[in-house]
Structure 1
Amino acid sequence: MKPPISASPLPPDTEGLLYRVEHITAYTYSAPVELANHLAHLHPRDEPVQHCVEHDCMIEPTPAHLGSRTDVYGNKQRFFAFYATHETLTVRALSHVRVRARPALDRGASPPWETVRDLLPYRAGKPYVPESEFSFGSHFSPVFAAAADYAAPSFTPNRPMLEGALDLMRRIHADFTYDPESTEAHTRAPHALELRHGVCQDYAHVMISALRGMGLAARYVSGYLRSRPSPGETQLLGADASHAWVEVWCPVHGWIEFDPTNDRQPTLNHVRVAVGRDFADISPLRGVIRGGGDHTLEVAVRVTPLHA
């Protein structure tokens, strides 16, 4: 395994902010685990709005098998397996990520939402739109009537699509209560919409279902928030943990981000790790084990700017 990344600042860059991202996941099992296979999405993406300068993932105990690959959505995955008994598992991902400001956006210049909706369905002789994959329901964000009904007031006739998405984000933020005790990791959008309580994962799944209910393409984004706000800014909900938000596809502007948990479009405070149809595609760490009994889980995340 490579040596840990140094915590010392890297040379400054003229664009954006450079972050040190540390994500620790620790399992303690009540009985030995005999066999285990795990899949991790912990490597930040390389995109126009950010660049992962360095990344390392340290795993204890040392896996018997370890590999990496890139999935169909461009996410970097790490997979590892254990064939000997163990009673603990610790995964420590450490990254240096340079985040750049998102380009200025004129939401009013986006096409009417009906125009975008009509681009996505396949018809004979019509060009295939790859983004249409994200207009279909998925496990955590199915297409269901209540979500479409909830979205409808935001998408009045001929309204620019991105203005409608912004209004939907603001309504979800206003109507929902951030409550970590109200839902579980397996909570799906129909239940979260009924509760009007939840965490970032629930806010994102509801917004995705609502957008898909209007025939639009929407996907789930996992990542992190800056742990401590800049002077004069408020603390964002979801900091010091994995965070989730939403992207909706526009044929003019591409994929555009919305964070309903914090009622804002992502900025320099958001670090992107993976994108998928919903949480099931890009869970930070999941696996299948034999044995283990009960377990306790501890997760710690810290996102710190290395220079102003």
Structure 2
Amino acid sequence: MELSVTHETRYRYQSAVLQAHHVAYLKPISNSEQTLHTFSLHMEPAPEVKAWSTDRYGQQRCYFELTEAHEELVVVAHSRLTTRALPKSLQGKLHQVRLPAGLAWQDAAKAMQYEVGQAFDDAREYAQPSPLAPVHALFREYALRSDTVGKTAHQLAADLCHRIFAEFDYKPEATDVSTPPLRALDLKAGVCQDFAQVMIASLRSVGLAAKYVSGYLLTQPPPGQPRLIGADASHAWVSVYCPQAGWLEFDPTNDCLAGETHVRLAYGRDYGDVAPLRGVIRGGGAHVLRVAVTVMPEG
């Protein structure tokens, strides 16, 4: 699928910001699931310093610095890319797909434990706790409520993904970006970021490796209605590892595997690694944040 993406972030401050330092993860990656063709990033006011670098996972991020007073910041990213569809056997709701064969989840969890002389596997990093996806007994208990008998790591992940979809309510007002996943688990409510981090923490708490995926989702307008500019959203889902079968991406917000309607920005341990835009400012006071994302099919 050929897609164009526009992501506009607008901060309006109560008082002037005297100095600001920001890091943006707004450039989609190129990998086996998608190919980035063009990308541009514009800031208003224009930054005094703008520099690209590569993070520890090989992904590009942009640092920019504003040293002149400003009461509004607008950041607009434009991307054009091609996403690739999942095989037919993996399309549809999770109960409809035929997952690849792999190790039983207990064996997969054992393979994520380091032993002297064992071959290196960089997936092990993602079985470890992180600030927004910790290991905890309550997450382990939640994961093991699934029917785990004879399941592979991907089958256990699919069952967990479906349960989060069925049991959690999508309520943007229930949480914010700093809400701990234990709180989201207790509320059984939140947004895609919360659902992803609850799923990651639950999988890590039984010893499995899982990544946080930051990106976008192409949403479909109601039948007969035009596509609205800015109506799409930033999105988040989960990549789960099973030795022998590799990584597979699960979307607990939509009870499916991530396919050609998903655009990948970056992978990390949790939201804190790959927030689309974060920073430190001096001044500003209270602020109003508006984000508009438009994902449009081309051609």
TM-score w.r.t. the length of structure 1 is 0.89
* 1: CA distance, partners of 2:37 / 2:100: 35
1:194 aligns with 2:186: yes
What are the superposed Cα offsets for residues 60-96 of structure 1, whole Å, 9 maximum, x if unpaired? 1110000111211122101100111111110000000
Amino acid at match of 1:62: A
Q: Which moved more, 1:18-27 or 1:122-131?
A: 122-131
1:36 aligns with 2:20: yes
Q: Quote the residue 1:272 is aligned against.
A: 264
* 2: CA distance, partners of 1:119 / 1:231: 47
What are the superposed Cα offsets for residues 129-186 of structure 1, whole Å, 9 maximum, x if unpaired? 2110011111111001111001013362432221111111111111101111111110
Aligned match for 2:49, one of 65, 83, 86: 65
Amino acid at match of 2:251: D
* 2: CA distance, partners of 1:253 / 1:76: 27
* 2: CA distance, partners of 1:210 / 1:19: 33
Among the aligned pairs, what percent are the same residue?
A: 44
* 2: CA distance, partners of 1:196 / 1:288: 31
Instruction: Give the match's secondary structure for 1:109.
Output: coil
Q: Quote the residue 1:12 is aligned against.
A: none
Amino acid at match of 2:34: Q
Matching of residues 28-107 of structure 1 within 5 Å: 28-103=12-87, 106-107=98-99
What are the superposed Cα offsets for residues 232-287 of structure 1, whole Å, 9 maximum, x if unpaired? 9xx9xxx7111000011122232110000111111111111111000000000000
Instruction: Give the match's secondary structure for 1:131.
Output: helix
Shift of the alpha carbon at 1:128?
2.3
Matching of residues 283-294 of structure 1 within 5 Å: 283-294=275-286
* 2: CA distance, partners of 1:78 / 1:255: 27
Amino acid at match of 1:96: R
Q: Quote the residue 2:238 is aligned against.
A: 246
CA 1:248–1:229 in 2, change beyond 3 Å: closer, same or farther? farther
Shift of the alpha carbon at 1:49?
1.0
Structure 1: stretches of 5+ with no match in the other structure: 1-16
TM-score w.r.t. the length of structure 2 is 0.92
1:173 aligns with 2:158: no
Structure 2: stretches of 5+ with no match in the other structure: 91-97
Q: Quote the residue 2:93 is aligned against.
A: none
Q: Quote the residue 2:210 is aligned against.
A: 218
Tell me how large the CA RMSD over aligned residues is: 1.7
Shift of the alpha carbon at 1:202?
0.5
Shift of the alpha carbon at 1:227?
3.3
CA contact (8 A) 1:114 1:158 kept: no
